[in-house]
Amino acid sequence: MKHCDKCHVDVNTNQEYCPLCHQVLSGESEPDHKELYPDYIPMRREVLPLTKKVLLFMTIISILTLITVNLLTWNINNTLWSLIPIGSILYFWLIVRYGVLSKQNTAFKLFLLTTVLVMILNLIDRVYGAVETRGWALDYVTPLAFLACNLAISVIIWVRKINYRDYIFYLITIMVFSLIPIVLALTGIIKVVWPAVSALGAAVFILLFIIFFFPRSIKDEIKKRFHI
């Protein structure tokens, strides 16, 4: 026990200075005294690891190069073609950040990555696609990507039974998303119908399966997510 002559308080420590007035404390240090609170260990400021630094550096250099080349060759090809590789590079980072490094649940990762991918491919198709092939992203990719996502989440639920409640919400959302191609097919925007139908079919199949065999889970999930 040390003492501060200025504040007239005992201080339970081996430190040198009074925490109140920062004067030197009197009294001897007790060799076997343990501080009540732990010593400071510097928080490890997350310094980027070398691989990440290199990748980030390459990313920025490539993006700048792409934009420059695109602008310099504007009179040969007057489209913003550089946005396609740039978009792909950014998508790569999205996969690293949210797909690999994130601790979010797997269904959320799959759902997010699929949705963004579908959006990027649709944009590429709309903006840059040749006229004769236009529509491939909407016709094939969109419904089939959701179908794949749906199957993947179902497999995960099947394999890791414990967490199935966490994933149901995403299944329902995909179900809603799978309706979009069908609506587009009905309004004639989508020409090829079978991918849209099979995506919705799979979604409905999985949903019905859950409703029949885990009837309470869906009801509970909706109740929880939408309580006022």
Give residues in contact with another protein (CB under 8 A). Answer: 1, 4, 7-13, 15, 17-22, 34-41, 43, 103-104, 162-163, 165, 216, 220, 224-228
Task: For another protein, give the closer residue by CB, 76 or 228.
Answer: 228
Sorted by sequence, the CB contacts under 8 Å of residue 3 that are 6+ apart come out as 9, 10, 11, 25, 26, 27
Phi, psi of 9 (to 5 degrees): -125, 150
Which residue, 3 or 136, is less far from another protein as judged by CB? Answer: 3
Rounded CA-CA distance 147/175 in Å is 10
Q: How far is the CB of 104 from another protein (least distance, A)?
A: 8
41 versus 176: smaller Cβ distance to another protein: 41
**Rounded Cα gap, residues 221 and 111, in angstroms:** 18
CB of 168 to another protein, least distance (A): 12
- The CB-of-187 to another protein minimum distance in angstroms stands at 28
Cβ(25)–Cβ(4) below 8 Å: yes
CA distance 151 to 60: 36
Q: How far is the CB of 161 from another protein (least distance, A)?
A: 8
Nearer to another protein, 1 or 189 (CB): 1
